[in-house]
Structure 1
Amino acid sequence: MRILFASFATLLFLGTAMPAWAQDQASPPAASPPPAITPPPVASTGQGRLDQLFADLKRERNEKAAERIAGRIWNEWNQSGSASIDLMMQWAQKATEDQKFDVALDFLDQVVTLQPNYAEGWNRRATVHFLMKNYGKSMSDIDHTLHLEPRHFGALSGLAQIMAETGHKQSALEAWQKVLAIYPMMRSAQDQVSALSEELAGEGI
């Protein structure tokens, strides 16, 4: 989840060829066959772009370059495909910044109702619930987010923070480790894994 959690998204080509013996015996067609339809490259779709960005993020070992890739992933996540949803997300963001959390929730409730498959709507609402210390509701929205986008390192970071704040250090560690499996160069996740590992080792876990 971005607001606090950063401080806090295959094409299978089946080729069949006519055997040589069948080609030899086949009569020429009366008319030219229709041209084959070439599918768009995978990367031209939103999902294809995300898949490529996540692959790049996992390989990248330069922290600043990884941050740029992560920023492009956030840009993809923020694209709802609806002007009205985008506008409500902007209003919710402004209300959150002004700490008018109830107003932000009103907008975000509408977002997840109108577009329930938009992962970032759930993630943004989880952020607001976290800021209000409504941890149960925040975790429920995180669950929705991760169901729609299991690679959402922002939502996983939020989950890790909730686990840590509620005293579940082992679960927090596991959540941060999942973040690093997706985004290995996230500095905050690296620091948290190191700190929690030392704490748990000292406690005999």
Structure 2
Amino acid sequence: MDSLSINSLLEELKNPDATVRDKATRKIWRIWFQQKGIYGLEIIDRSQKLLDAGEIAEAETALTALIKDQPDFAEAWNRRAFLYYSIGDYQKSLADCQMVVQINPIHFGALHGMGLCYAALGEYGEAIRAFKRALEIQPYSLVNQKLILECTFRFSYDGR
């Protein structure tokens, strides 16, 4: 990844102009998806089609094979985390999100995913921390702001 390009896009995520932020977000996602070239992108696309068709085991197999082949491909881990989250396996999703952030600490999508997993598991304090980390990267993210408020309410209600 071109760190100069990424750094400038990260700065654009903090721009008050929503158009600038949206454009930067799309560019960052494109960089992440294309990190391993056409091979990785094709497998991710195929896994998404399998997931959309309800062929979850096949999608998981494709992503797991890609992860074994290219363990430093953060987006492969992120796509598998999404798959696990979508079937309610929050522990596996959380573990994959943590791998994404270990590989790519600025992956706001994985940080958001971690927050969603923690919230689904009732660990609201951890969810708040994950959403706040995502907000450090994308300060205008209304969804993360909203989820912090919801988790804060739930945390103060049940103390977790």
C-alpha distance after superposition, 1:4-39 (max 9, x if no partner): xxxxxxxxxxxxxxxxxxxxxxxxxxxxxxxxxxxx
Q: Please, what TM-score do these two structures have when normalized by structure 1?
A: 0.72
The corresponding residue for 1:91 is 46
The corresponding residue for 1:70 is 25
The structure richer in helix per residue is 2
Match for residue 68 of structure 2 among 90, 113, 118: 113
Note if contact 1:62-1:185 (Cα within 8 Å) is conserved in structure 2.
no
Letter in 2 for 1:47: S
The corresponding residue for 1:170 is 125
Query: Are the structure 2 counterparts of residues 65 and 135 from structure 1 closer, same or farther at C-alpha, using a change threshold of 3 Å?
Result: same
Note if contact 2:36-2:73 (Cα within 8 Å) is conserved in structure 1.
no
Q: Please, what TM-score do these two structures have when normalized by structure 2?
A: 0.90
Q: Report how many aligned residue pairs link the two structures.
A: 160
Q: Distance in 2 between the 1:97 and 1:51 partners?
A: 33
Superposition pairs of residues 105-184 of structure 1, within 5 angstroms: 105-184=60-139
Structure 1 consecutive aligned stretches of length 4 or more whose deviation exceeds 3 Å: 198-205
The corresponding residue for 1:53 is 9
1:188 aligns to 2:146 (yes or no): no
Identity in percent: 24
Query: Is there any run of 5+ residues in structure 1 with no aligned partner, and where?
Result: 1-44
Note if contact 2:91-2:117 (Cα within 8 Å) is conserved in structure 1.
no
- Per the TM alignment, residue 48 of structure 1 is displaced from its structure 2 partner at its CA by 2.3
Query: Is there any run of 5+ residues in structure 2 with no aligned partner, and where?
Result: none
Q: Which has the higher contact order (CA 8 A, sep 6+)?
A: 1
C-alpha distance after superposition, 1:116-169 (max 9, x if no partner): 111101111111111122222212211110011011111111111111111111
- Per the TM alignment, residue 67 of structure 1 is displaced from its structure 2 partner at its CA by 2.2
Note if contact 2:111-2:130 (Cα within 8 Å) is conserved in structure 1.
yes
Q: Distance in 1 between the 2:24 and 2:44 partners?
A: 22
Q: CA RMSD in A?
A: 1.8
Query: Are the structure 2 counterparts of residues 198 and 98 from structure 1 closer, same or farther at C-alpha, using a change threshold of 3 Å?
Result: same
